Amino acid sequence: MTHQTLLDAYARLTVKTGLNIQSGQQLLITAPLDAVPLVRRVTEHAYRAGASLVTTIYADDETTLARYLHAPEEAFDAAPDWLFNGMAEAFKGGAARLAIAGENPALLAGQDQGRLSRANKARSKAYRPALELITGFTINWCVIAAATPAWAKSVFPDLPAEEALDRLWQAIFACTKADQPDPIAVWEAHNADLRRRTDFLNGRRYRALKYTGPGVDLMLGLAEDHFWKGGGGMALNGVFCNANIPTEEVFTAPHKDMVDGIVCSSKPLSHQGSLIDGIRVRFERGRIVEMSAEKGEEAFRSLISTDEGAARLGEVALVPHSSPISKSGIIFNNTLFDENAASHIAVGQSYTENIRDGSKRSKEELAALGANASLVHVDWMIGSGELDVDGILADGKSEALMRKGEWAI
């Protein structure tokens, strides 16, 4: 198939399976400038599906960098509250949300960490009203990616620019199953497989997960009334959607106060223009009390200092080491893909959907059950082909869940 044919199939898959746009529904898209061809295809398919209005907000790496190079010092405490409040209002009004990733993973490498921390904190505070609607699964939403020259160069640094970009697009089409004869049918079967995993886990009602492996000795308690999710799900507006394309994970809510031990990252984390690698942390009673990183340590330290909840966990996800993304052998330097190549955890905000009847509970009730609250939610990868995971039952007995990174159930 030609690139244009695959791009069109990817866009249709995004609209039909990722978002499941409804007749009369508005769609809000955020995307990098280099994603314009994909945005145009998505927009066409959204209108064909009955969307009433598609609005796109573009970001540009060069103008983002210009702020750090030329803006006055006081500028780094500012954030576009008006924009994020408008996004929240759009979601309250029923608009669907599509985020297209593809930024340069190391755009802000070498920039002042104090400025980065202030800017990220200001942005996180301003974005909170919209983030809560997303993490609460109030609307149908989806995150996908578009290959861009800067991102492709970070993934394939030894290839000529055009070849690197083509290789990255091929990898995206393969990992999202957009290159299959009937991607939508393939995704229906994939969702069914993930649902079988979540049904099993929800039936077992583990109180904790025990992780062991090289550099890993972690006991991770699960929130009371936790609920495992994976693949597609029903948003509170009654629309079934897939929040991530691709996805290979099943995930739930850890207990914010019941995580103890040591864990190390197994893949780099790209966060807000910084690449962070070789993370090692120690938890006590749910909180990170020691941390180091081989690369980007100050960026990670800044992240977990955002607020009280940023140094605690809001998500735990299990992914087999043999997932298609892992088998590709590519380090994507992009969380959307790398988190689906390895089991992972996330610091920050919990997903309301990972607590039974979470949407009907107050913030105080959710906190009492162990759900975490924060301005941030950032996934980082800990899984490998050497990681073992056990489920701990209420009576203290353990059962093998993963051995050497693969499902044992």
Where do the domains of the chain lie? 3-175, 205-227+248-407
Q: Rounded mean pLDDT of the chain? A: 96
> Over the stretch 204-244, which tens digit does the pLDDT of each residue have?
999 999 999 999 999 999 999 999 999 999 999 999 999 99
> Over the stretch 160-215, which tens digit does the pLDDT of each residue have?
999 999 999 999 999 999 999 999 999 999 999 999 999 999 999 999 999 999 99
> Over the stretch 6-28, which tens digit does the pLDDT of each residue have?
999 999 999 999 999 999 999 99
What is the longest distance spanned by two Cα atoms in the chain?
60
Across 329-354, average pLDDT = 94
Describe the crossing of helices 3-13 and 161-175 by its angle, rounded to 10 degrees: 40
Cis? peptide before 254, omega within 30° of 0: no
Whole-number pLDDT of residue 272: 79
DSSP 169-237: HHHHHHHTTTTSSSHHHHHHHHHHHHHHHHHHHHHH--SEEEEEETTEEEEEEEPTTB--EES-EE-TT
Whole-number pLDDT of residue 106: 87
The class that CATH gives domain 3-175 is alpha beta
Residues of the chain above pLDDT 90, percent: 95
| The total number of residues written for the chain in this structure | 409
